[in-house]
Structure 1
Amino acid sequence: MESRLSELEVRIAFQDELLDALNLSVARQQQQIDQLQQQLRLLYQQMRTQSPSDAPARSLLDDVPPHY
């Protein structure tokens, strides 16, 4: 009984450590998502405020993949 209790305590300790590592990972990912969303908002605002005359003229040949 004592060994089973000890084994469970060790497993809980490892699970707590893993949970802390996962929480840290999720927090970092959320920060990255927030930064990417902010960058996307800024790019979207720049795109909307750019006048059509500022945009370079595009040709359909610009869309052809490089392997053609």
Structure 2
Amino acid sequence: MTDSATSESARIDHLEMRLTEQDATIDDLNRTITEQWRLIDRLRRQVDTLTERVEEAGARAATGGAEPPPPHY
């Protein structure tokens, strides 16, 4: 092999290694993003549930419906 052929072969090998590393990085990032979206969705549902509960409690208080005292009273 000539020096230019060896040089081209080494360059191609280097590019193939970079491509493989980039593919692995992209897969890792996709997994991370998917996990984050699942967490965000779960947290959004929890916030929605808590918001509804606070609004219901506010509506009960506004209509004069007093909550019963806690059991320790």
TM range (shorter): 0.7 to 0.9
Identity of aligned residues (%): 29
More helix by share: 2
- TM-score, normalisation: structure 1: 0.76
The higher radius of gyration belongs to 2
Structure 2, gaps ≥5 residues long: 1-7
CA distance in 2, matches of 1:3, 1:35: 48
RMSD: 1.3
State the 4+ residue runs in structure 1 displaced beyond 6 angstroms: none
* Larger RCO of the pair (alpha carbons < 8 Å, separation 6+): 2
What TM-score do you get using the length of structure 2 for normalisation? 0.71
Equivalent residue pairs, number: 55
Partner of 2:3: none
